[in-house]
Amino acid sequence: MIDDPELLRRAEALVSAYSAAGRTLATAESCTGGLVAALLTAVPGSSAAVERGYVTYSNAAKAEAIGVDPGLIATHGAVSEHVARAMAEGARAASRADVAVAITGIAGPGGGSADKPVGLVHLAVAGPDGTRHIARRYGDLGRGGIRRAAVADALTLLEDAVASE
């Protein structure tokens, strides 16, 4: 992912935009396993913009590290709008970041169901103006393809968040 020229170009632009705005960001990642944070921190000078990243792969990690209510997970499942929003809001609250992005989904190849198929990903971004959510059904692009698509969409959410400030 870090050697993807398009994603790296976008990460460089994001770091520059957040730095110029005096804003910081955090990530809370499940199915992407820290790929967004790794991409952003591959950029020289990223410490001016990236506050921290959380890899909250397990349900327990979501609750313990960023305060996701286990009841939300029990009621809606880890891959849901409710949990994505809670992850973004929790990462923002647990860090010193102005904006936090969260990703939770099913990258496959297994783990999907009729209601929540492989390729379903929920993303959210929390910032001073509230929390925004998007859901994607990428289809079965393969594990790497789903994770890359989710990283690209997370970058879009972060781009939109800094542009609106």
Dump the DSSP string for 61-111. Answer: HHHHHH---HHHHHHH-SSSHHHHHHHHHHHHHHSS-SEEEEEEE--SSS-
Identify whether the C-beta of residue 125 lies closer than 8 Å to the C-beta of residue 114: no
Beta bridge partners of 27: 53, 101
In the chain, the domains with their CATH numbers are 5-163 (3.90.950.20)
HSE-up of residue 58 (Cα within 13 Å, Cβ side): 4
The phi, psi pair for 110, rounded to 5°, reads -105, -170
Q: Which residues are CB-neighbours of 34 under 8 A, at least 6 positions away?
A: 27, 53, 55
Q: What is the pLDDT of residues 108-122, one digit of tens each?
A: 999 989 999 999 999
Q: What is the pTM of this model?
A: 0.97
Q: Answer yes or no: is pLDDT of 96 > 70.
A: yes
Q: What is the pLDDT of residues 31-60, one digit of tens each?
A: 999 999 999 999 999 999 999 999 999 999
Tell me what the mean pLDDT of segment 92-97 comes to: 97
Q: Answer yes or no: is pLDDT of 2 > 90.
A: no
Angle at 16 between CA 10 and CA 18, to 5 degrees: 100
